[in-house]
Amino acid sequence: MENTAAFAGTIPANYERYLGPFLFEPYALDLVSRLQDKKYDHILEIACGTGRVTAQLAKSVKHDSLTATDLNQDMIEIAKGIIKDKSIRWQQADALELPFDDNSFDLVVIQFGVMFFPDKEKGLKEAYRVLKPGGRFIFSTWNRTETVPAIYEGRKIIERHFGDDPPVFYGIPFSMFDAGELRDFTQRAGFKNVRTELVKKEAVSPSAADLTKGIVEGNPVYLSIIERIPASLHNIKEEVKNKLIEKFGEPVKSPMEAWFVGANK
């Protein structure tokens, strides 16, 4: 069975180096720009990954404490190695069973993490539980894969090499793209004042080779390749690189779209 959350081994470093600047930094900046209007005494970030949002929260949002959690310790280790801020509390934690008391935080943030929760409703209810009454909750999800065309082109090539049984990973990050469902889902967890916004950005990578490394080796699909079709790895990378150059040029510039969701307890 494919482990769609297996961000371990060499994957976290490749994810951070090659996908971090391309996919996640533009939205990290957008997210924190929405939080600079006031102070949030105690902030919790869930599914912090390699710390793209964490770094911006620490730097740009007024707070007393910042706790950053992720299910994958390897991702946290990458983040800790990059972000030299001793005030951040890093903690391995399962989003479905958060090790925090009720009503502990003034702000809870999840960037591109909810899609990976095995039980998404339980994950949002946990976020609700640890948030203080009146506290703010924000999260983001990707729009359809086609709205991030550089990733979509890579995905099509990879999946074609697997024939009739492609890895399921790339379906997970792009599985929550309906604004109405996002609102309903958030309200069912107990939140109020739910609002959604489609945010369009440009993703930029210095080279097709760099982005190819992220698309192929910076996520759990890489495990499927080396376990099931290792002899195809070189060809996959060459095909992805050539397609990116053909479609997007160098440096690679691709549009991308994601949903921002904001709510209160």
Are 252 and 163 contacting, i.e. CB atoms less than 8 angstroms apart? no
pLDDT of residue 2: 44
Report whether pLDDT(31) > 80. Answer: yes
In this prediction, residue 29 has a pLDDT band, given cuts at 50, 70 and 90, of: very high
**Is the residue at 47 inside a domain?**
yes
pLDDT of residue 168: 86
Are 209 and 241 contacting, i.e. CB atoms less than 8 angstroms apart? yes
Report whether pLDDT(57) > 80. Answer: yes
**Is the residue at 156 inside a domain?**
no
Length of the chain: 265
pLDDT of residue 116: 94
Write out the residue range of the structural domain in which residue 111 sits: 11-146+170-201+256-264
**Is the residue at 210 inside a domain?**
no
Tens digits of residue pLDDT in 94-135: 999 999 999 999 999 999 999 999 999 999 999 999 999 999
CATH number of the CATH domain containing 18: 3.40.50.150
Q: Is the dihedral of CA 126, 185, 70, 265 positive or negative?
A: negative
Percent of the chain with pLDDT over 70: 97
Residue 110: burial class (beta carbons within 10 Å; 0-12, 13-18, 19+): buried
Report whether pLDDT(3) > 80. Answer: no
Domain count, the chain: 1
Are 155 and 244 contacting, i.e. CB atoms less than 8 angstroms apart? no
Tens digits of residue pLDDT in 77-94: 999 999 989 899 999 999
- SS3 call for 105: strand
**Is the residue at 233 inside a domain?**
no
Are 68 and 48 contacting, i.e. CB atoms less than 8 angstroms apart? yes
**Is the residue at 251 inside a domain?**
no
pLDDT of residue 6: 59
Q: How much is the average pLDDT of 167-177? A: 91
**Is the residue at 125 inside a domain?**
yes
